[in-house]
Structure 1
Amino acid sequence: MTVTTRPVGRGGPPPGTRASLRKKPEDLDQLAEHPVSMRRVAGLFTPHRQSMGVVVALIVVTSLIGLANPFLIRRLIDEGIPQHNVRLVVLLVGGMLAITIVSQILGVIQTWLSTKVGQSVMHRLRTQVFGHLQRMPLGFFTRTRGGELQSRLTNDINGMQSVVTDSATSIATNVTTSVGTAAAMALLSWRLSLLSLLILPPAIYLTRRVARLRRTIQTHAQRALADMQTQIEESLSISGVLLSKTVGSGPQLSERFTQTSRELTDLEVASQMAGRWRMGTLAIVFAAIPALIYLAAGLPATGDGMTIGTLVAFTALQSALFRPVIGVLNVGAQIVTSMALFSRIFEYLDLPVTIDNPTDPVAVDVASAAGEVRLDKLSFSYPGADRPAIADLDLVLPAGQRVALVGATGSGKSTLAGMVSRLQDPDHGAVRIDGVDLRDMRLSDVAALVGVVSQETYLLHTTILENLRYARPDATDDQVVAAARAAQVHDLIVGLPDGYETVVGARGYRFSGGEKQRIALARTILRDPRVLVLDEATSALDNRTERAVQAALDEVSAGRTTLTIAHRLSTVRDADLVVVLADGKIVERGTHEQLMQIGGAYADLVAAQGQDARAAVSVSG
């Protein structure tokens, strides 16, 4: 990280001088955990090597052209003005203007090229990371914070723009300018050059000390800013506002935000004042440098034969030397920071894709699929679990029939449903649809064959129409309406002031749970899947809403192979087959009537749920 030192008056460091702090420990830790080779980073710029070569050439040419100005000034002062040589004066002044014009034109071209290269690299990385994360298994997102994903896709990749347009170009500029300026100073006067080199180290030392002090303060400021952003996100979201209003925590939240804002204000003031005395001392040092140069020029030992033009030209070069020298000293920290950014991005790109398209996929005709689902000796274990979630399970779901999975919490129901929709792959065995292993199909074919409606409905913050078409962008208006009618939500939608153009709000907050569930169901119906997985689709609804949604589910599941995971056993009475799971194994199977007659695990579940319902009625009464 770098900070910008403030101009401290005449003779001080040039405005905008960037003083390096030091290598950030978190950057070093990141590189230690996930090292990055320069070859891999260079590979990102390989398609742009010609543009980068032009950028470097423009930087070198611009820096060298700028060094000609002091020599023109020397000749103007020593020859043109004293001799009243108008022609020479015009040529020299014209040369100065030409140098400025050419430098600015080259600078514009260099900025355009470097920005274009940087944005191209960012675009490619951003799309690669986004596409790669889309292929990650569901477990990755359950253990990774959403803010971390957003940070790497936005902040880290945006930071790479500065790698190209700032770090890379500043390194080339500073090295070229430092070497060229030092050489030009030596050509003008090697004696005065030695004097400048003696004064430069303490100036650099003081600047870096101030930068380190500001770095410490800025670290605390960044943490305070992060706390403030978190408070805004948590307190001003719909859920946060609802919580604060219902528990009366508004004043407390305001006080907490005020304290954080006050802390941030104090830190910003401290950052600006940090090292002000040191910077004042530095200003005195830089103001003294020209005076010492003039003194040296006036002494016989060091100024013998020196012209006024040489003195003025040398002073101009010396005052411009500080910025590039500091920049050269910052190269190490800049490289570490840049490599740490690449490391964070490559770390995500290197994550293994455990569920992906097969190398040689089996051709599947989704339109003519029957939808028979066969589970052959399935076994699956979660990492670190002491027992398998699914153990050597065999089950057939005949095409067009409704099969219900029931069992206690943790029996493996949702895990099994996840494998049918290929949200995860079994450790052993296979899931087959119409005899084809899901792992041999394209993921797009699996998604077309298997539709999922879960308890957790997610609606996008857009219109109802766009939410429905999210599942099938090419759907016609008639197809959208037909899906909404099947889900028994069409009448609700057309009764709204804006109909299908109604914006659902953040997470569909303006709708009830049952309404959101039916909209989500219509979205799934629009894909017309042959296999329907209903994972606790009505468990979070009240009895009245559940009956409405269940009626929609019954209509939709007709003619489809349906796998229903139900917490409320009343919803599975009409299933063609009820399968009871316990510890990842099938302990019973049959119709509702058959299993009730057996009087086993299923009957016990029904009895227990009936007792719970009667107890709830008794308490409420």
Structure 2
Amino acid sequence: MRSQLLPTATARDTGSFAWSLVRDRRLPLAVTVLAFVGAGLAGLVPPWLIGRLVDAVRAGTGEHAAVVAAVGTGISAVIGGLLTWVAMSALASFSEPALAATREEVFEQALALDASRVEEAGAGDLLSRVGDDVQSVSEALVDVVPVLAQSAVAVVLTVVGLVAIDWRLALAGLVTAPFYYASLRWYLRHSSAFYAEQRIAQGERAQAVLDGVQESRTIRAFGWSAAHLSLIDTASDRARRISLDVFGMLTRFFGRNNRAEYIGLACILGAGFALVRSDLTTVGAVTAAALLFHRLFNPIGALLGLFDDLQAGVAALARLAGVALLPRPAADPAGAAPAAGDLRLAGVTFRYDATAAPAVVDVDLTIPAGRRVAVVGRTGAGKTTLGALAAGVLRPTGGCVSIGDGPLPEQRLREEVVIVS
């Protein structure tokens, strides 16, 4: 049941969890930001030099300006490349340890989880988190974060460069901002639910496949193969349909972005024509402004487009944080004496689902201390369920399990009785 899945952290808790992973690595984070800013500034040089070259050609002094433009563009490209390398190296030096810490913390918490809670959620949900979700966060850190950082810096510095060239041309370019905003708002409104649903569907699919592998003999013995294959097919089809819906949403999103780009460039060229005609600016300034604005296409497209991968990464991180932030069972008080006496199951009944038939019904069993007991029976008779109830892995629907003088808390019971499958 979906209500039994392990929790997903809230946006606030996810943010706190992410910050806890990087707060001790602030120096490489600062180096990353500064290096990306430097690389972004280097990227502003070529459009500015080309604009100066255009004005120099119109004035008849283009030869010297052409040499300056060529040399300056080459130097800025080298500097930009070096700073990008520094930024990527610094980014790796804090993101990779953070990712390793995430893996370790989630795995450690998974091992400490209450066994009955894992049973309720299904092993597939937990496996999809420590597998698929960790992989999604890893891809976001390695592939998405660097591009997002570069793109964000490029957008901010390019806007500053446009203002420095001519504030009126910058104002014309900003006409496109509401269109980008509307596109992003439309995307965020539609995408959040899609990605959350996609992660849940992947967990349910993993659980269905895992059940089929682990319980294959039982499924075959009861002739449930066709029914379980149908269950796997339904879960897989649901995950597939959600993925196709996401792809269709992205196609519409990119179309909206292309429309915003066309509007912005048309406004800059139109305003530039009017300003040049009125001798309020130069052709070189309009050229530089148009090139700078055109330079925004890729960064803005990356910022908006990578929200796809970023949303998936954030959704995965929220699921990991949901596991990592679960409260751990309280440890036994120091010096607590081990329980002594017979293991008793009194009137124990258990149902895996409220609507399903009980797996065991009204079982009375006493196992004297130190005695070995073998439980035998046909497949599906409830042997595994009975062992899980005795060990405190499952909570009885009716009746109680006790050792010695009386019932023990579930955590103590799990410390006294161990299942070796």
TM range (shorter): 0.5 to 0.7
Pairing of 1:174-193 with structure 2 (within 5 A): 174-193=151-170
After superposition, the C-alpha distances for 1:89-131 in whole angstroms (9 at most, x for unaligned) are 3343122112122222322332343234323212222122212
- Counterparts of 1:80-229 in structure 2 under 5 Å? 82-86=60-64, 89-161=66-138, 164-165=141-142, 172-197=149-174, 199-205=175-181, 207-208=183-184, 211=187, 215=191, 222=198, 226=202
* Distance change >3 Å, CA 224–CA 360, structure 1 → 2: closer
Which structure has the highest helix share of the two? 2
For 1:416 and 1:232, locate their aligned partners in 2 and report how far apart those are by CA, in whole Å.
23
Contact 2:173 2:264 in 1 (8 A): no
How far apart are the structure 2 equivalents of 1:139 and 1:216? Answer: 31
Question: 1-side partners of 2:61 and 2:149: how far apart?
Answer: 40
| Cα RMSD after superposing both structures | 5.9
Q: For each residue in 1:351-392, what CA deviation from the matched residue of structure 2 results, as whole angstroms up to 9, or x when unmatched?
A: 343375876799xxxxxxxxx99328999999x99xxx999x
Q: Deviations over 1:221-256 (max 9, x none)?
A: 959985995699379859669859x78959x96xx6
Aligned equivalent of 2:321 = 346
1:258-287 alpha-carbon deviations (Å, 9 max, x no partner): 987996897588557647875675465355
**CA distance change for structure 1 residues 359 and 342 in 2, over 3 Å: closer, same or farther?**
farther
Distance 2:51 2:80 in 1: 20
Any conservation in 2 of the 1:178–1:325 contact (CA below 8 Å)?
yes
Q: Flag the 1:163–1:106 CA change in 2: closer, same or farther, 3 A.
A: same
SS of 2:340 mapped into structure 1: strand
SS in 2 for 1:375: coil
**TM-aligned CA deviation for residue 320 of structure 1:** 2.8
Which of residues 388, 391, 414 is equivalent to 1:418? Answer: 391
Matches within 5 A, 1:326-345: 341-345=316-320
Structure 2 letter corresponding to 1:312 = T
Q: 1:403 to 1:427 in 2, by over 3 A?
A: closer
Note if contact 2:106-2:324 (Cα within 8 Å) is conserved in structure 1.
yes
Distance 2:225 2:19 in 1: 55
Distance of 2:277 and 2:88 partners within structure 1: 45
Alignment of 1:210-609 (within 5 A): 211=187, 215=191, 222=198, 226=202, 233=209, 243=220, 249=226, 267=245, 270-271=248-249, 274=252, 281-282=259-260, 284-286=262-264, 288-300=266-278, 303-304=279-280, 306-321=281-296, 341-354=316-329, 374-375=340-341, 397=369, 402=371, 404=373, 414=387, 418=391, 457=421
Q: Using a 3 Å threshold, how does the CA distance of structure 1 residues 89 and 119 change in structure 2: closer, same or farther?
A: same
Q: Of Structure 1 and Structure 2, which has the larger fraction of its residues in strand?
A: 1
Q: How many residues align?
A: 385
Determine if contact 1:36/1:342 at 8 Å carries over to the other structure: no
The 1:124–1:239 alpha-carbon spacing in structure 2 relative to 1, beyond 3 Å, is: same
Contact 1:69 1:99 (C-alpha < 8 Å) held by counterparts: yes
Q: Secondary structure at the match of 1:79?
A: helix
* Contact 1:206/1:279 (<8 A) preserved: no
Aligned partners of 1:210 and 1:311: how far apart in 2?
Answer: 32
**Alignment CA distance shift 1:140-1:107 (3 Å):** same
1:321, CA displacement in angstroms? 3.7
- Paired residue type of 1:184: G
Cα distance 1:223–1:339, how it changes in 2: closer, same or farther (>3 A)?
closer
Amino acid at match of 1:346: A
TM-score scaled by structure 2?
0.65
SS at match of 1:67: helix
CA contact (8 A) 2:147 2:302 kept: yes
Task: Tell me how far apart the structure 1 counterparts of residues 22 and 275 of structure 2 sit (CA, whole Å).
Answer: 49
Q: What are structure 2's unaligned runs of at least 5 residues?
A: 1-6, 352-361, 376-381, 393-400
TM-score (normalizing by structure 1): 0.47
Matches of 2:173 and 2:71, distance apart in 1: 30
* Structure 1 residue ranges without an equivalent (≥5): 1-28, 363-371, 420-424, 432-437, 458-621
Instruction: Supply the distance in 1 between the matched residues of 2:155 and 2:49 (Cα, whole angstroms).
Output: 19
Task: Give 1:295's aligned amino acid.
Answer: F
Does the C-alpha gap of structure 1 residues 234 and 142 become closer, same or farther in structure 2, counting only changes over 3 Å?
closer
For the residues of structure 2 that align with 1:264 and 1:413, how far apart are their CA atoms? 39
Note closer, same or farther for the CA distance 1:183–1:147 as it changes in structure 2 (3 Å cut).
same
Give the aligned partner of residue 48 of structure 2.
71
CA distance in 2, matches of 1:225, 1:342: 16
Match of 1:549?
Answer: none
What is the rounded CA distance, in whole Å, between the counterparts of 1:394 and 1:269 in structure 2? 59
Residue of structure 2 equivalent to 1:49:
26
Change (3 A) 1:209 1:176: closer
